[in-house]
Amino acid sequence: MDLRDTQEEAAFRAELRGWLEANLPGERRGGRGGAQRFDDAFGREWSRKLYDGGYAGLTWPKEYGGAGAPYSFQAIFYEEMARAQAPGHVGVIGLGMAGPTIMAHGTDEQKQAHLSKILSAEEIWCQGFSEPGAGSDLAAARTSAERRGDVYVVNGQKVWSSFAQLADFCILVTLSDPDAKRYQGLTYLIVDMHSPGVEVRPLRQITGEAEFNEIFFNDVQVPVSNRLGEEGEGWQVAMTTLLHERGTLGFALTAALDVSVGKLLEIARERVNGDAGTRERVAAEWIELQALRYTNYRALGTLQRTGIPGPEGSAIKLRWSEQNQRLTKLGRELLGADGILDDGWWHHQQLRSRGNTIEAGTSEVLRNIVAERVLGLPRSR
Ligand SMILES: Cc1cc2nc3c(=O)[nH]c(=O)nc-3n(C[C@H](O)[C@H](O)[C@H](O)COP(=O)(O)OP(=O)(O)OC[C@H]3O[C@@H](n4cnc5c(N)ncnc54)[C@H](O)[C@@H]3O)c2cc1C
């Protein structure tokens, strides 16, 4: 297998590199990620620039404002963005989850109404799946949707909703039939976050920032035309969202890790002083990164063949999140007290990495997926 760029891929990479050089101001490179990227209007402005440059929704069909490019172009995009330490598009949930779900299950009206606005950052989306009593076990969702004529009336609470403080729309998993068998009573809705009865309360994280939120729904009226898929088929629609959540993120995660490993090597060259144990730990992180990179190529192969992300996405997310925690801990250890006096990058990365093994599926849940769907072991329940 030849992993080098084809002629077209190399041309795309060179063009993108030049575009980033010309369009990304120097002071906007190397940010910490996290909530910081929403501090000013630059996030939406930058996302719009990516869209105008033709770099948002690279693999999306042209009719929805995408570029209709192969998945390998998306992988190159993530690599080059990380290389330039460029801030990402703010529409993380719209681009990675809501958009692909609307493309798979939406009506023509829903596609026309939302897809190009997701790409241009005119619409920011959030994901209302988790509840106080339903996280890993999404089928336990209790936020209710009661059908009254042309609307569903939604009541309940979601939690840990990233970007809800900014969002214009939410992809919401609701319980429309409390008497139905497990998995069969759920309905998936698109909710306008500016509707009366929607209340968002930010939750502060260990980093001190508030990236995620509680959302309360109090008699919120959602038109039936905003339903994605059929009533009672919310579980199947949600599975499409989750497949995309983990499936296409691998290259972005690995590219960001590449930057962190590079920074770790810089500190290690200055500070390790031939200490064999530490040298081994640093080398092990570099080797892990290469393993992750090649697993990504395998995932890309599946995606290019089938158009649907495979279970490799779960393995990549698992290994990446655990490595990011180890790596950021090692970075802080190597810096020692100096790590408190510098710009706080490693400190912030380490605190933020705690959530990595919980968000988008906990490590235990991902191990179950790998055991059952990749290795064919008996189901845990
Ligand atoms: C930074 C961050 C951002 C997030 N953003 C969003 C968002 O935008 N939208 C959204 O809907 N949610 C979001 N979440 C929530 C996230 O999806 C949930 O936290 C996650 O699914 C786990 O659910 P829970 O917190 O209810 O924990 P639980 O499901 O209650 O799990 C508790 C513990 O039990 C373990 N466990 C649970 N089930 C099993 C099992 N079957 N086998 C073995 N162990 C098990 C888990 O691994 C965990 O250790 C976010 C979370 C974080 C940390």
In ligand 1, the atom with minimum distance to the C-alpha of 134 is: 26
What spacing in Å lies between the alpha carbon of 358 and ligand 1's midpoint?
5
Residue nearest to ligand 1 atom 32, measured at CA: 136
Top CATH class, 7-90: mainly alpha
Question: Which of 235-244, 273-282, 308-317 is predicted least confidently?
Answer: 308-317
Does residue 34 surpass a pLDDT of 60? Answer: no
- Taking only the tens place, the pLDDT of each residue in 326-361 is 999 999 999 988 877 777 889 989 999 999 999 989
* CATH architecture, domain defined by 248-374: Up-down Bundle (1.20)
What spacing in Å lies between the alpha carbon of 338 and ligand 1's midpoint?
34
Give the start-to-end residue ranges of the domains of the chain.
7-90, 125-232, 248-374
pLDDT of 36: 53
Confidence of residue 297 (pLDDT cuts 50, 70, 90): confident
Residue nearest to ligand 1 atom 48, measured at CA: 362
Cα dihedral 280, 286, 289, 295 sign: negative
pLDDT of 39: 56
Residue nearest to ligand 1 atom 2, measured at CA: 359
Q: Does 300 or 180 have the greater pLDDT score?
A: 180
Average pLDDT over residues 215-225: 98
pLDDT of 344: 84
Does residue 147 surpass a pLDDT of 90? Answer: yes
What spacing in Å lies between the alpha carbon of 362 and ligand 1's midpoint?
6
Confidence of residue 373 (pLDDT cuts 50, 70, 90): confident
- Highest average pLDDT, of 25-34, 130-139, 313-322, comes from 130-139
d(Cα 237, Cα 226) in Å, to the nearest integer?
13
Confidence of residue 165 (pLDDT cuts 50, 70, 90): very high
Rg of the Cα atoms in the chain = 21
d(Cα 262, Cα 268) in Å, to the nearest integer?
10
pLDDT of 274: 78
Per DSSP, 233 falls in state: -
In ligand 1, the atom with minimum distance to the C-alpha of 130 is: 11
d(Cα 301, Cα 324) in Å, to the nearest integer?
24
Pocket test for ligand 1, best of 359, 372, 373 (most atoms within 8 A of CB): 359
For 371-381, b/e burial (b = at least 16 CB within 10 A) is eeeeeeeeeee
Which residue in the list 79, 209, 245, 285 is annotated as catalytic?
A: 245
pLDDT of 33: 58
Does residue 35 surpass a pLDDT of 70? Answer: no
d(Cα 119, Cα 91) in Å, to the nearest integer?
7
Average pLDDT over residues 12-19: 97
Confidence of residue 12 (pLDDT cuts 50, 70, 90): very high
| pTM of this structure | 0.93
pLDDT of 135: 94
In ligand 1, the atom with minimum distance to the C-alpha of 352 is: 1
Residue nearest to ligand 1 atom 52, measured at CA: 359
Tokens of 272: 């390790």
In ligand 1, the atom with minimum distance to the C-alpha of 368 is: 42
pLDDT of 251: 80
* CATH architecture, domain defined by 125-232: Beta Barrel (2.40)
pLDDT of 32: 61
pLDDT of 379: 87
pLDDT of 26: 77
Does residue 37 surpass a pLDDT of 60? Answer: no
pLDDT of 77: 94
Q: Does 183 or 343 have the greater pLDDT score?
A: 183
Average per-residue pLDDT for the chain? 91
Common-topology check for domains 7-90 and 248-374: no
What spacing in Å lies between the alpha carbon of 227 and ligand 1's midpoint?
25
Confidence of residue 4 (pLDDT cuts 50, 70, 90): confident
Binding pocket residue ranges, ligand 1, CB within 6 Å: 126-130, 135-136, 160-162, 212, 355, 358-359, 362, 364-365, 368, 380
What spacing in Å lies between the alpha carbon of 249 and ligand 1's midpoint?
18
What spacing in Å lies between the alpha carbon of 235 and ligand 1's midpoint?
17
Q: Catalytic: 364?
A: no
**Residue 270: is it exposed, middle or buried by C-beta count within 10 angstroms (0-12/13-18/19+)?**
exposed
